[in-house]
Amino acid sequence: MFTDWLRRITKGVIEPIAAFLARHGIHANTLTVFGCVLNILVGVIVGMGYLRWGGVLLIVASAFDALDGTVARRVGRPTKFGAFLDSVLDRISESAVLLGIALWAMRMPGLWEELLAYIAIVGSMLVSYTRARGEGLGVSTKVGILTRVERCIVLIVGLVFPTLLLPALWVLAVGTVWTTFHRMYDVYRQVKDQPLTNVNST
């Protein structure tokens, strides 16, 4: 998977930074919250029309996604709440950036950008939900072409190079819907007609 490959090639950069932060008592949850705040700021900046600046700041904000988990493992205290907080704030972060794009697009001629941004928001939520719901049923599903890392890279490219924003939104909209259905099929393949023994609604 691309995510695993990217983690391997960036490990030499991420690990020393994480070690430095851990030595100075920076908590992983603090990094998670700060990264989310930066992503919301990206959404505001993009909504105001400063796409390239938003893209540059999104690169910085994305670094915190890689750092928080690494810091938690460094100090030997990864927690269930930390993982929960990271997942929830990731959804807020991604939605904030896409909402900023939609707000910017509303001032532009045409409707494609805001429509695709909306589909991408819903699609990214469903990609994460299918994985979480699958895990709730006792199965793991991480398949698909657009996980969180890939979606973030596509967003960065589209913002830093605004002429590519519309194609990037097409990739996000189509890719997230495709990944959602891929994960639905993957869960079906694993559980099929197994009886539901523990009803756990969301």
Tell me whether residue 202 is in a domain. Answer: no
Is residue 180 helix, strand or coil? helix
Rounded Cα gap, residues 9 and 79, in angstroms = 26
- Whether residue 186 lies in the annotated active site: no
Tell me whether residue 12 is in a domain. Answer: yes
CATH number of the domain at 109, please.
1.20.120.1760
What pLDDT, on a 0 to 100 scale, did the predictor assign at position 141? Answer: 92
Could you tell me the residue range of the domain that residue 6 belongs to? 2-189
pLDDT band at 201 (very low <50, low <70, confident <90, very high): low
Tell me whether residue 197 is in a domain. Answer: no
Total number of domains constituting the chain: 1
Rounded Cα gap, residues 119 and 149, in angstroms = 18
Is residue 119 within 8 A of residue 137, CB to CB? The reply is: no
Over the chain, what is the mean pLDDT?
89
Q: Which of 68, 90, 186, 193 is catalytic?
A: 90
Handedness of CA 155, 160, 161, 162 (dihedral sign): positive
Tell me whether residue 136 is in a domain. Answer: yes
- 17 to 34, 72, 122: CA distances (angstroms): 16, 13, 34
Q: Mean per-residue pLDDT for 67-72?
A: 83
Model's pTM, two decimal places? 0.89
